[in-house]
Structure 1
Amino acid sequence: MPTLYDLKEKLATVGNQLKNVEEQLVDKAANPAVTKEEIEELKNKKADLQQRFELLKEQHDKVEKEQQAKIKQENPISVVENEEGKLIAAKAELIRAAIQNRPMSEEAMNVLRALPAPQPSGGEKLLPTTMTDALVYEPFARNPLRDVIRMSNIRGLEVPKIAYTLDDDAFIGDDETAKELALTGDKVSFGRHKFKVKATISDTVLHGSDLNLVNYVENALRSGLAAKEKKVSFATTPATGEEHMSFYSTQNNIKEVSGADLYEAITQAIADLHEDFRENARVCMTYADYVRILQTLSNGSAVLFNAPPESIIGKPVVFSDSATTPIVGDFNYVHLNYDGPLVYDTDKDVNTGDYLFVITAWIDQHILLKSAFRRAKVVPVG
């Protein structure tokens, strides 16, 4: 079996011969003194070389593909191919150039410009691509609500609270919703609430491989964004101006439904929802609360612990340690908006010597209809 190197050499040799014959054929075809037989001989020679070249090319491509697959299988992290590799290298250069206060190369800038983004500021370029973890760091935070709420990145966003209307104003079946719309209006305008996320980068990571650097920074920034999203959603004492974002704020004043224990409180809260919201309802609660429910219902049996949460609670469950009081409702009526592109800045911690890569973002979140939600509260009997 010829090696890839041998095939490259043979392919180059035949390719040069084919090129020479093609040049001779053009020259002789333009010379009236050359006989028809000479031209036919060159044409046959060209066809023969062309066939040989294609056979070698096919074999070369096959061996090259097999070799790349073998290398990638043996070391999948260090080998990043083609466009993905260019993207990682460009992102790594963006981080290093920002920290070292130097310009980026035009090639890297072109790679980042090719990514879809609202503005060419650079910060938002770091987050669209999800890559396989190459290093194991401390656990990174995630916001479980991202899977069930609406999300967007639109400047000056304004959305209707209900996606449809009828000529008859009395079409809304839920009196509570009708009163809410009459009181607060049928549209929501999103604002801009600024916050920063800082990724701390050591010298070792900064000067390490492109993949490790980009992976670490992207995960740290995503973690910071997720932590902020959870904080505003479940804050019991929200920051001034952020009260409307929290399920637990007195401003939103989401209705509480009580029960003698967690299970009763949650099931009663589901039942208390209007049917328009009950059908798509979910329960957001801590895993510790869910385990307590299982312990109560199972009465010492382990059978329930293997059952999916939906079969126990009656609705799909979203687990978050921040949901200290279970939230029941249709999470389609929660909308989180990032207002415009993220922008980046850099700094250095003089005490530790670490570098800081800082993302600034502007967000706003609205619970479009408070009547689509209930809070499940335990009130012991007696």
Structure 2
Amino acid sequence: MVSTLRSFAHPGGVHNATPPRIVFGPGRSAGLGDEVERLGARRAMIVTTPGRASMGDRFAAAISDRCVGLLPEAISQVPVELVRRGVQKAAGRGADCLVAIGGGAATGLCKGIAYESGLPIIAIPTTYSGSEMTGFCGMTSEGVKRMHESLAMCPRTVIYDAELSVELPPSTSASSAMNALAHCIDAIYLPSLSPLLAMAAVEGARIVANNLPELLASPRDIGLRNEMLYGAYLSGAALTGGFALQHAVAHMLGGSYGVEHGTAHAVVLPYVTAYLQQYAPQPLGRIADAVGTTDLAGYLWDLAGGAGLPVRLADVGFPAEDLDRAVHIATTADAAPTDPDIHDANRAGNPAPVTDSAVRAVLQAATDGRRPGAKR
């Protein structure tokens, strides 16, 4: 017998909005030219990181006269200066669409350009960041990373092709996978998350967590790569519901201290989870059940450490004497936006507000680096 009547509401706009077209499967990136044409575009600018430039060149050659050039300048944390340069280059080349090839850095730069220009995006992710599924983007200005939101930044098409991720280094695979898990965990307790996408968060966490150890043991297994991309797709969809304390802390580490995005998530995720379990035991319990544990925070610590990722802030170069500054940045970066499209990290939906005491507790635990949760 049901004791309470189900009742919920979640916001529209960019929240819970996913790309309208998904193309998934090994080898599917060969159809990029058709996807550009499907958008009605003829002058695509391909955006990559410097390390993915040769891959970008191959795609540029494949779509031939539909490409107006390569922009191999994307870097982590999406500096606004780079976005402005990208906007100018897209305009100067007469681009009518953007193609992101790579991880969150390439997708993020395309999002920044689209935020200013309105150009449509085709995303071809090669990592598990999940950024390609959302209309959110963290951009860094003057050493502070702030989250922006706009439907203009939500890709029109996403092509998932596991063949492109086979060469991904194990460390990047691991940090990227922890990034995906952070999306599931940081969204599952938000009332702004659609019930439909809450199921994606649970299933995404299960797939990513269960496949990561196997992938690190067999990094060239195309089946495992394919499953990890599927988990990342679900995790990215979950992120469209919003985010909370985990992202406030990780974005501070990345934007202000230069910690690689996936690693920033990995190093604090066990401690954020431990802190929030007292405020959201039931939603986090769904994730715990999915990955097969009764000790989610400790499980994440073991998973990260077992994958060779850092579990202490000192291991990512964070200076302990900067604790007060770090707390201030994490609690204020998005708290009082002047731009209506900047995300409010302190919105009422967070299970625990992003306060000084919350961030300090997490950072202190990450400084100590001890395994949270039940003793082993």
TM-score (norm 1): 0.22
Q: Which has the higher contact order (CA 8 A, sep 6+)?
A: 1
Question: Considering only CA atoms, is the larger Rg found in Structure 1 or Structure 2?
Answer: 1
Structure with bigger strand share is 1
Structure with bigger helix share is 2
TM-score (norm 2): 0.22
